[in-house]
């Protein structure tokens, strides 16, 4: 297996580079800002603290 397939290192003759091509590297991707956590309208989250409140009574599963 001494024969390797040669890779093209030059463009073919007659190739014309499009006007919008540049030699500058691509810009890094922009990271969207992280959304702020929405405040819980009912107070503390029951899934975090383990208590559910229904009609003013704390219910624990």
For residue 57, what are the β-bridge partners?
Answer: 54
Summarised one tens digit per residue, pLDDT across range 38-57 is: 776 666 666 666 566 666 67
Summarised one tens digit per residue, pLDDT across range 4-33 is: 788 888 888 898 989 998 888 988 999 988
Distance of CA 42 to the CA centre of its chain: 31
The pair of three-digit structure tokens given for residue 25, joined into one six-digit string: 């590297």
- Give the per-residue pLDDT at 61: 55
- Give the per-residue pLDDT at 28: 92
pLDDT at residue 3 greater than cutoff 80: no
Widest Cα–Cα separation across the chain = 82
Q: Where are the alpha helices (DSSP H) in 6-59?
A: 46-49
């Amino acid at each position: 297996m001494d024969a390797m397939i040669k890779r093209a290192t030059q463009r073919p003759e007659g190739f014309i580079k499009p006007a919008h091509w540049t030699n500058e590297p691509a810009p890094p991707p922009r990271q969207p800002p992280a959304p702020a956590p929405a405040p819980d309208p009912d107070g503390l989250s029951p899934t975090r603290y383990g208590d559910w409140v229904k009609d003013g009574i704390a219910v624990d599963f």
